[in-house]
Amino acid sequence: MDVTKYKRQIPKGNGKPVLIDGARTPFVKSFGVFEDCDALELYSRTIDGLLRRLALDPQELDEVSCGVVVPQTKNANVARDAILNLGLPPHIHGVTLNRACTSSMQTIADAARSIAFGNPDLILAGGVECLSDVPIVYSTEARKFLVRLSKAKSAAAKLNLLKDFSAKAWLPKPPSLSEPLTGFTMGEHAEMMAKLNRVSREDQDKFAVESHKKAAAAQESGFFDAEIIPIWAAPKYENCVDKDNIIRRDTSVEAMRELKPAFDRRYGTLTAANSSALTDGAAVTLIADEARAKSLGLKPKARIKDVIFVAVNPYEQLLIGPAIAIPQILKRNGLTVNDVDRYEIHEAFAAQVLSCVYSMESDEFMDRYFGTKSLGRFPMDRVNVNGGAIAIGHPFGATGARLAMSLSNELIRSDKQFGLIAICAAGAMAGAMLIERCN
């Protein structure tokens, strides 16, 4: 393949990052229809699907980036591997990164910053998670034994190693989603937040039901069809998967009430139904310099105005970050909470979203972080109008890119101007992104 990138004139840009369009796989329950897939395959198909939809000459692409939270060692840099796997021009470089659930918000942020820095780039930024293909690791003892065995030269030395052999060490360690520095899982942290912010079970279940109802309505109206690339899943390729499969249109608060708490059996309020499920899926957006995009005949959907990331003390409230990121990004851009037309607040848990909202509505919380009064009543009718991760699913690495594309589409659909995305992340972090619809 001829490399033409460096021969031609450096394209002209205007330094304004825009989102052209996005694509994603259907989001499906892990250990289901994508059971035999891996992250590379899902991400490759999504990239290919977006390129074909946009009829974009891959020679124009500069970079592919990808967020993955639970990576497989076999494709540690999924982004670069996808380029080569698809046979795309080899000059396209690729990076894979991990900022927990804000990973693909980070890839979009990186793309936007590079463009704002003056590189008139065309970057595919997104993420993927295939928890069906989660890496199972051996214990440290087992690993050490294997390494020593491979280094042992003689048969005697090999035999000698056997005296240290412990059968127990060979039990594989299932991956844990607990915080390395607190020892609690995400769910346990969210459970603590529910108690701290007095978020009732009833409110959580109501919130979850709403999420499903809104998502089901969006699904039926065909809103997601503009995003989804149909996937034929390896190795049998029997079914063409073209719909999200976690959304339940017929769920109800009554039905959810029956469920047992998942993280605190005795006093807990979080259940499988008001939490997001383990999900497989990939999402990617095309982020471009506005002037370059126009010269290529690409029509931008939204402008990326600002991105910020924040972090708090994990011992406080692990997933409270959005309550800081949202006021902060509003402040930076001179906007009030009501100036934003549409919010996408990532739904890791209903309790976590509501905790963030309650906090922003709290004088005490806002005073502690910003030295101001509360934001006032948060406009909940503008939040997650097409449902959220509780209904649609949450493939960790892909969520940021899904929200960016979905919110861009929503601003066009509802003919609104500003959209704001906030996502909480492990490590007591969060990110927020402000976008504006392009005319």
Partner 1 sequence: MAQHFRIEREIGNVAVVVFDRQDKEVNTLSEKPLRELNDIIDSFAGDTSLEGVVFISGKRDFIVGADIGEIATMATAEAAADGARQCSKIFQKIADLKVPTVAAIHGQCLGGGLELTLACTWRIATADSKTKLGLPEIQLGLIPGAGGTQRLPRLVGIQTALDLILTGKRLTGKKAEKVGLVDAVVPEQLLREQAIRFATQKRPAHRRLPELSPGKLAADLPKWATEGNPIGRKLIQKKAKEMVEEKTKGFYPASFKALEAVFEGYETSLPKGLELEATLFGQLAVTRESKSLVHLFHATTALKKHRFKGAARERFGKKKVETIGVVGAGFMGAGIATVCADRGISVMYSDPNKESLGRALKHSRDYFKKKLEKRRIKPFELSQRMNHLSPALDPRGFQFADVVVEAVFEDLKLKQKLLAQVEAVAGEDFIFASNTSALPIKDIASAAKRPERVIGMHFFSPVEKMPLLEVVVTDQTAAWVADRTIELGMDMGKQVIVVKDGPGFYTTRALSFYLNEASTMLLEGAPIEAIDRALTEFGFPVGPITLIDEVGIDVGMHVLETISKAFPDRMVTPKGLQPVADSGRLGRKNNKGFYVYENGKKGRPDPAIYELMGIQKSDGKLGADEIVDRCLLLFVNESVRCLEDGILATAYDGDVGAVFGLGFPPFWGGPFKYVDLIGPKTVVERLRGLADKYGARFQPAPLLVKHAEGAQKFFPDEA
Residues 202-261 that bind partner 1 (CB under 8 A): 230, 232, 234-240
Nearest to partner 1 of 238, 254 (CB atom): 238
Q: How many angstroms separate the CA atoms of 357 and 373, rounded?
A: 14
Scan for tokens 């619809």, then name that residue: 437
Give the phi and the psi of residue 327 in degrees, each rounded to 5. -60, -35
Part of the chain binding partner 1 (CB under 8 A), chosen from 54-62, 106-114, 262-270, 423-431: 54-62
Strand segments, DSSP code E, in 40-119 are 63-67, 93-97
Strand segments, DSSP code E, in 223-301 are 231-232, 240-241, 279-289
Part of the chain binding partner 1 (CB under 8 A), chosen from 44-52, 263-271, 303-311, 343-351: 44-52
3-state helix, strand, coil in the chain (%, to 5): 40, 20, 40
* Distance of closest approach, residue 7 Cβ to partner 1, in angstroms: 12
If one asks whether residue 393 binds partner 1 (CB under 8 A), the answer comes out as no
If one asks whether residue 295 binds partner 1 (CB under 8 A), the answer comes out as no
If one asks whether residue 315 binds partner 1 (CB under 8 A), the answer comes out as no
If one asks whether residue 26 binds partner 1 (CB under 8 A), the answer comes out as no
Q: Which of 37, 66, 101, 356 is catalytic?
A: 101
Part of the chain binding partner 1 (CB under 8 A), chosen from 40-48, 317-325, 359-367, 389-397: 40-48
Number of residues that bind partner 1 (CB under 8 A): 28
If one asks whether residue 57 binds partner 1 (CB under 8 A), the answer comes out as yes
For 73-95, the DSSP string reads GGGTTHHHHHHHHHT--TT-EEE
Q: How many angstroms separate the CA atoms of 251 and 274, rounded?
A: 11
Q: How many angstroms separate the CA atoms of 354 and 361, rounded?
A: 10
Q: How many angstroms separate the CA atoms of 99 and 72, rounded?
A: 16
Part of the chain binding partner 1 (CB under 8 A), chosen from 24-32, 49-57, 99-107, 315-323: 49-57
Q: How many angstroms separate the CA atoms of 208 and 268, rounded?
A: 16
* Distance of closest approach, residue 298 Cβ to partner 1, in angstroms: 13
User: 430 forms bridges with which residues in the sheet?
Assistant: 310, 424
If one asks whether residue 90 binds partner 1 (CB under 8 A), the answer comes out as no
**Is there a catalytic annotation at residue 438?**
no
**Is there a catalytic annotation at residue 101?**
yes
If one asks whether residue 40 binds partner 1 (CB under 8 A), the answer comes out as yes
If one asks whether residue 367 binds partner 1 (CB under 8 A), the answer comes out as no
Contact pick of 76, 84, 137, 181 for partner 1 (by CB under 8 A): 84
Helix (H) or strand (E) holding 61: none
* Maximum alpha-carbon separation in the chain: 76
Pairing of strands 93-97, 63-67: parallel
If one asks whether residue 87 binds partner 1 (CB under 8 A), the answer comes out as yes
Active-site residue set: 101, 424
Would you tell me which residues interact with partner 1 (CB under 8 A)? 1-2, 40-41, 44-45, 48-49, 51-53, 55, 57-58, 82, 84-87, 230, 232, 234-240
